[in-house]
Amino acid sequence: MAQQPVELILLKQWAGYLTLPVWLMDGRGNLLYYNEPAEGLLGVRFEEAGEIHADQLAEYFQTTAVDGAPFPNEKLPVVVALQQRIPNHATVRVMGFDGVWRTLAVTAFPVEGQGARHLGAVAMFWENPDS
């Protein structure tokens, strides 16, 4: 497997030290890594799930608005960060691998490298943001 860009390597290492749940996506929307705190929210250990292809993400993680209404995929913060290359924030309900619905605030930002290289995005999560 080819080496990831050093910017993503450093972000993975950074995420590995945080108690904040973090996802790291590449520029094609593949979920390359999530840290241990994110495992608790998603209901599966990264070592078990491994890298998740962009096409599979919607199958694994169902998302709705807080009131249960459909939430457009293109408005998900991580999708906005990847496609529009701008930061974004939203509060949504997510059902992970374990079948549990959780209310999560999500902030995502794009990762832009030197030479206008769009390398991916980082998403950070807070559970039960209103509680």
Partner 1 sequence: MKATLWGTRGSLASGGPDTVRYGGDTAAVEVRGATGEVVILDAGSGIRPIGVQLAGSPARIDILLTHLHMDHIQGLGFFAPLFDPSVEVHIWGPGSTTIGLHERLTRYLSPPLFPVMLRDLPGVTLHEIRPPASFTLGGLSVRADLITHPGPTLGFRIDSSECVLAYLPDHEPALGAVVFPDAPEWTSGCDLARGADVLIHDAQYTGEEYQSRVGWGHSTFEHALAFARLSRVKKLVTFHHDPGHSDEMLDRVMTEIRKSHELEFELVPGRVGLTVCVD
Residues that bind partner 1 (CB under 8 A): 1-7, 9-10, 12-14, 16-17, 113-115
- For residue 4, the minimal CB distance to partner 1 (Å) is 6
Q: Which residues of 75-104 are buried (b: 16+ CB within 10 A; e: fewer)?
A: ebbbbbbbeeeeebebbbbbbbeeeeebeb
Instruction: State in angstroms the smallest separation of the CB of 24 from partner 1.
Output: 11
Least distance in Å: CB of 93 to partner 1?
31
Smallest gap from residue 98 Cβ to partner 1 (A):
25
CA angle 40, 43, 45 (to 5 degrees): 80
**Of 24, 77, 31, 36, nearest to 51 (Cα)?**
31
Pair 76, 92: CB distance under 8 Å: yes
Cβ nearer to partner 1, comparing 2 with 69: 2
Which among 96, 90, 39, 87 is positioned nearest to 66, based on CA atoms?
A: 90
